[in-house]
Structure formats: structure tokens, C-alpha cells
Structure 1
Amino acid sequence: MTEVEWPKSDAPGECPVRGAERLHGPRMRQDPKVLYRDMRREHGPVVPILLEGDLPAWLVLGYREVHQVTSDTELFARDSRRWNQWDRIPPDWPLWPWIGVEPSVLVSEGAEHDRRAGAVGDALAEVDQFELWGKCERIADELIDSFAGSGRADLVADYAERIPLLVVADLCGMPEPQTRELATDLANVIDGAAESMHAYQRLRGTVELLMRVKRARPGPDVPSRLLAHPAGLTDEEFIQDLLVVMTAGHQPTANWIGNTLRLMLTDERFALNLSGGRRSVSDALNEVLWEDTPSPNVLGRWAVRDTRLGGRQIRAGDLLVLGLSGANTDPQVWPERTSARTAGNHAHLAYGYGEHGCPFPAPEIAEVIAKSTIEVLLDRLPDLLLDVDPADLVWRESAWIRGLEALPARFTPSYARRA
């Protein structure tokens, strides 16, 4: 454990805790479950942490505690303007795009949140999921055609990363040339990378242009439906909320696909499925949401007043990070982690919970994208095998996204498109 002494005083935001854990660095890379286990053993379900720049916060690892924080919007609110650390935030802080006071649906509260989340939900609800499945299959086939003849592929860069981006672009009515820089920018923003602020500004410019185009020439797409919605989103609300939709629709879904493919290629329970065995893609997808959720930690909630949580004294304005991955593996809830407990069990917190959880029908859309493209891949390349030792797979060094840097695979070369 990294020893850090937080000042002992009554000033807001200063917590009388001698030791705090860093939520960034190489320990997050290969097996964060070990880190979460050690944190829980040392500190309990609510852990004092340091974010980039040594800014203090609380990581909520307990399943019950995460449920409490996400349910009680009166005590744990979403508007980051309550934070008691704003005077310490540098202008180039890498997490600024996620924690800033930009007026997105993520930080809105009460009636404003209901209005804006309702508009987003309605715009997504008009996506025909049967039609979406067909689009995903066509996109998957086209991508597989591009590498099927070589007998080798990186299933992250060549497949999992590209499919959600192309689907999101299609749902937003964006021409393909506009999508070329989106993947890198979206990844940088979610990772909290050094380039995150520049990436965010480029994404914002893309959405501003899309807004002008769709206002002049509306179509059967999500941006046009948002612009026409009775909620009457302002230009700034539209820009911020569509950025949320695009960001949440790409990287988490891409890593859900990649993490599921890794599981199916490395776990003998699922490897049988590659040649028509017993385990289903749905089971693998659900297990990943429990064990390797693509969004392991989420910023955040802010305490409205002094309170206690998980045995800790939380001060007004303190930041709480939702440890979704840690909560999903909380031994107080699941004393014995087995696949039998996750099969068919959808009580995971991978989509968050409560008012600010992932809005309906976004989880269903993400599942259509993930399930359809994995099934197409296994259908087209039934002898798919991992091309490296599983121990050599490298995870991205990020506290905010759980995904592989690469997933090399080999298979029998094939040039014929599935009929």
C-alpha cells in the first residue's frame, strides 16, 4: 500500500486517513481484482484513494454501498460543482472531460435530468433492434472479409474496436470519413490519457458539425430525433448529451466484445463453444459483465452533506468513485465466485444503478451489437485460436476502462463470405 498522509483538519475535503491507495499506475493493468481484494482487506468497502494529481477521493467497493450511493440521490448527488477540491484542479488534468462542469446529462439532476435522459432514451428507443442486428452482421462480415484470407488477426484492433464505432456512426447518420479519428479520441477521453482534453475538443467539434448538418437535413437517426424531441434541448445540451451517447456506445461495447472473445478463447468452459459446444455466447457476455466489466470504475458522486458510508466519515463535497468491478466481486455478496452464480444472473452493476444508471434501451442495444458480432465471428471462423500464450495478453493501463491492448488470433484462411 502506498503511504500518503491526508491532512487532519476540519476543512472540507480533508479526510483524517493516514493511508490512501493510488487508483492509477501499473497495478491496475494485469489483475485489478488482486488490488481490489487488498484494498478491501486493508480499508473495508469504502477506500481512501488518490486520483491523478494526488487528489483525494473515495472508492466504493462494496456491492451494498454502491447500491446505496446510486439509489440515494438526495445524499449522493451527481453535479460535480459540489466538489470540495476544485481549487486544486489544474487546467490540463486528464480526467477533466469526465468530471468537469460541462452541462451533460451525466451531471444533471432532478427534473432537468429526467427531461434530458428521457430525450436520450426516446431517441434510442426508436432504433429497430432487428434492423440493428442485420446491420451488425453486415459490418462484421465486411470486417472479417478484410482479414479472413490471412489466417491471423488482432481481434481488438481489427474487429472489436471497429464494430461499435461503425455502428454508432451509422446510428448517428455520420459519413464514414468522419469516423476515422473518432476511435482514438474516444479511447483517449475514456482512458483519461494525457491527450484527453485535446481529444475531447475534437469530439466536440465533430458533434457541432453533425448538429448543423442534421438541423439542415434531418434523417432517421439518433441526432435528428434528439433535435426534434419535445424536451427542446438547447444546442449545448444536444452537444453534451450526444457526446455521452457516442462515448458510452463505443469504448465500453468494444471492450465488452474483446473481453468476451478473450474469455471464450482462454477458458475451456467456453472454448468448446467455438466448435458448437455447450456454452452460449450470452453466458460468456454475462460473465464478463460480472468479472471483467468494461467500465470498472465510474466518476462519480458527491456527498451533499456530512455522512457515514461503510464505516467511513464522508464530508460534504467529497468525491465518491463507483467501484463497479469491485462491487461485482464483493465477497460479502458472493462468498464463492463461480460461473453458476453468474449464469442467468443479471444483478451485476456493470450498467450502474438508479437514476444515473445506463438509460433504457442502451444496454439492450449494446447487447445486440456485442452478441451479433461475436456470433458472426465464430460462425465464419469456427477454428479460431489464441495466437499467444494467455499470460502474454496485456491489459490497458486504465482505472476507467477494462480492455486488452491486443488479442492476436489465428485460424484457417478463408475467402468465402458466409451465405
Structure 2
Amino acid sequence: MSTAPTSAPVPLNDPLLQDDPIRAYREMRREHGSVVPVLLDGGIPAWLVLGYRELHQITGDPELFSRDSELWNQWDAIPDDWPLLAMIGRRQPSIMHTVGESHRRRAAMLVDALESVNPFELRARTERFADELIDAISPRGAADIIAEYAMRLPVRVLAWVYGFSDEEGPGLVTALNDIADARDHDQSGQMLLLTSMARLVADRRAKPVDDVVSRMLADPAGYTDEEVMHDLTVMLGAGHLPTADWIGNSLRLMLTDSRFAASLFGGRNSVAEAMNEVLWEDTPNQNVAGRWASRDTQLGGRRIGAGDLLLLGLQGANSDPRIRTDGSALTGGNNAHFSFGHGEHRCPFPAQEIAEVIARTGIEVVLDRLPDIDLAVPAESLVRRPSPFMRGLSALPVTFTPTPATGTV
């Protein structure tokens, strides 16, 4: 890995990145500049790009900064049980590992398929599932809104989007959350997820209908069942946890910041403003792996070697003082953040819209059904999941006036 004289690399598992990432990024930037040498698990070197302009440069030049992980110059040092292997991974038959024209064709196929989702049906189905979840907790007067709501809603809606039956939905919720939590039985969760996807794809291949999976299979490029299955699995994983954290982080902001008190009494503009502020200040996708330099180059005053891994510091770029000169919170319509990525590998626009409908509807159902919702613990006691890559709450304990279930079916 190429570098210039500098202070010691920063361990990416530094507790400060979990406890106070904005401070951590500020200290990294002051010590190292906009491109920071970091160490991943096992002392594996990488670069964390915190500069807004530098991140724009990386994501806008897929030839120089490739998505092809086979370029990595550290593979010889990576053990088979390396904990980040699933996140970075060797090339697989999914859109995550395609590059160039192949990626552009694959992305166009996904955009076409996702555009088949009717936004009115999506909102109605999200409301239905959200009401079912609130029905389960509303008579108690207390709940953990993360485990019992936010971590259950997005995957249930996305399962419907793909075409899974309502009976299959709860099992997929459990499987994907087990994988996200890396529980001891996450292997069984992965197996359930993959076998369910394979069965759905086989069913649609045999009997097409006008839905997401059938459109993917009917694309003129002629993608195989395995390729479609892997793309669906990637989209489900990429859509679930970030959307769940978007719900949780937005509700935390609204319950702890007086600027959003109106939302607790039905103000809808404040919901959108809180959600947008989270994408700037507390984004679920903090750091993303990654890009690999296809040749020796320069970035942010650093010498980057061919095959070096660059991590996309989305939250660091969002808070770059060179573009946030006054330091004010961005709650309005400014959506020039990096929370959905940038360039040809960014989250497809229809997928962003689906995530926004799920998150906003989920938040509004909470506020409608539990109008006096309040934190059950001091705000400073809330704990984040330990991860330098994703930012979400471990729990959000709340209280509210108990109410009967609505009887939604």
C-alpha cells in the first residue's frame, strides 16, 4: 500500500467512530487530511476518503477507481475467516461486482424492473404491515421501536415488492435480521434466504407475471436465474437495514430535538425534514467498501498504489467543512449528500424512492397510532450498534398511552 509520511493509521474499530463519528471524522481530517490511512480487522491497510470533492472524484471515475475487488493487493493477507470478507468479497454473479458496460446494462435492467412498483400500492402495503406491527405493541404502552418495528417493517415490504407471499414474509424478516446481527444461527438464515429466492425465481421463470422478478428475467440481456437471484438478494440486504436505521435514526431525532416537536402532533413537513437531516448528519451508511485503484495515482495529496482499497466515507464527506462552512443542520430540500452514493454504482433512483416511501410511511404510522410517544430512557443512554460501517440504534425504548389494536387484516 502506497502512502506518504504521516501519523500512524487509524484503526477503523476505534470506539470513537461508534460513539461520536462526527468528532472522529473531524480529528481524522485534522491529523491526516481528506484521505485517511486506516487499518481494518487484522491490521489490513486501506484508505478512508472523507473529502466531499475526493469522494466525488472517486465515484465519478469508475475506470481509475474500480468496483472490481479482484484488483485488491491484499488478498494474499486475507484469511478465509476474515470477518469483513462478506462485506468486501471476491467477485460474485451480482450487480455489486460488475464493472463497465456490463454494470451499466445490469443497472438499467434493475431500474426497469423496480419502476414496475406502483407507489400507491407500495404505500398502502407499507401502511398495512406497519399497522400490524403497531397492533402488536399498542396495548402494552411500551416497546423497543427498533427491534419490534423498524427492524421488521422494511424487509416485510420488500418481500411483498419481490412477490413473496404474506405467509413467507415473517420468515424472511427473521432470516435477514439474523444475518444482519451475525447471530450464531445466521447460516440457517442465509440458507433460508437463498432457497426462498431460488424458489421465487424458478416460479417466475416457469410462470411470468408483471412484477419485479419477471421483468428481470425477461430482460433482453438474458440474465441467468443465478444472476437474478443474487441481484435480488443484494437488493434485499441493501434495502432492509439502511431503511430500518433511517426509520430509527429519524424517530430518535424527532423524540430528542425540540425542532421536530410539531411532528409528534401531526406535522408532516417536519417528518421529511427530519429524514433529510438524518441523511446529512446521521446517515445509516457511514462507510462503504469500496473502490480499488486500477493503477498508481494521487488523491487528496496521497500517493495511492495500484490495488489499494479505498473506503467511501459517506458521513465524513457529508460533514466536510469545505462544503458545510457554517456548520448548520440541513433539514430542507438540499439532497446533495452522499448517503445513496454517487456515480454509476449509486443506489438506483427507483430503489431510493421505495426506501423513502417505506421509511416515511413507517414513521407517519408510528406518529398517527402512538401520538404521545416518548422516550422511556434518557437520550444520552441510547446505544448504537458497534459498527464503523452502519449507524443505527441497538434499541429505542419508548412509552405511550396503551390503545386497543385496530384489527387491521
TM-score (normalised: structure 1): 0.91
CA positional deviation for 1:281: 0.6
Could you tell me the percent identity over the aligned residues? Answer: 54
Q: Residue 92 of structure 2 corresponds to which residue in structure 1?
A: 102
**2:210 & 2:37 partners in 1: Cα distance?**
47
* 2:296 aligned with 1:306: yes
* 2:192 aligned with 1:205: no
Q: Residue 267 of structure 1 corresponds to which residue in structure 2?
A: 257
Residues 211 and 133 (structure 1), Cα distance of their counterparts in 2 relative to 1, 3 Å cut = same
Residues 153 and 193 (structure 1), Cα distance of their counterparts in 2 relative to 1, 3 Å cut = closer
CA contact (8 A) 1:173 1:219 kept: no
What SS is found at the alignment partner of 1:150? coil
Q: Could you give the per-residue CA deviations for residues 172-212 of structure 1, whole angstroms, max 9, x where no partner exists?
A: 12234544454455456557788877755553333223322
* 2:155 aligned with 1:127: no
Q: Residue 31 of structure 2 corresponds to which residue in structure 1?
A: 42
Residues 26 and 179 (structure 1), Cα distance of their counterparts in 2 relative to 1, 3 Å cut = farther
* 2:392 aligned with 1:403: yes
Q: Residue 80 of structure 2 corresponds to which residue in structure 1?
A: 91
Residues 277 and 216 (structure 1), Cα distance of their counterparts in 2 relative to 1, 3 Å cut = closer
Q: Could you give the per-residue CA deviations for residues 358-417 of structure 1, whole angstroms, max 9, x where no partner exists?
A: 112111111111111111111111111111100111100011211001111111111153
Of 233-242 and 260-269, the range deviating more from structure 2: 233-242
Q: Residue 344 of structure 2 corresponds to which residue in structure 1?
A: 355
**1:374 & 1:107 partners in 2: Cα distance?**
33
CA contact (8 A) 2:65 2:291 kept: yes
Q: For the aligned residues, what is the CA RMSD?
A: 2.2
Q: Residue 375 of structure 1 corresponds to which residue in structure 2?
A: 364
**Equivalent residue for 1:288, pick from 248, 271, 278:** 278
AA matched with 2:140: S
Of 186-195 and 312-321, the range deviating more from structure 2: 186-195
**Equivalent residue for 2:327, pick from 337, 340, 352:** 337
Q: Residue 156 of structure 2 corresponds to which residue in structure 1?
A: 166
CA positional deviation for 1:220: 4.0
Structure 1 residue runs of 5 or longer lacking an equivalent are: 1-12
Q: Residue 287 of structure 2 corresponds to which residue in structure 1?
A: 297
* 2:313 aligned with 1:323: yes
- Number of aligned residue pairs: 406
CA contact (8 A) 2:135 2:407 kept: no
What SS is found at the alignment partner of 2:45? strand
AA matched with 1:226: M
CA contact (8 A) 2:54 2:299 kept: yes
Of 364-373 and 169-178, the range deviating more from structure 2: 169-178
CA positional deviation for 1:280: 1.6
Matching of residues 119-198 of structure 1 within 5 Å = 119-176=109-166, 178-180=168-170, 182-183=172-173, 185-187=175-177
**1:47 & 1:267 partners in 2: Cα distance?**
32
Structure 2 residue runs of 5 or longer lacking an equivalent are: none
**1:142 & 1:278 partners in 2: Cα distance?**
22
**1:237 & 1:217 partners in 2: Cα distance?**
18
AA matched with 1:73: P
Q: Could you give the per-residue CA deviations for residues 146-166 of structure 1, whole angstroms, max 9, x where no partner exists?
A: 111111111111111111011
TM-score (normalised: structure 2): 0.93
CA contact (8 A) 1:119 1:226 kept: yes
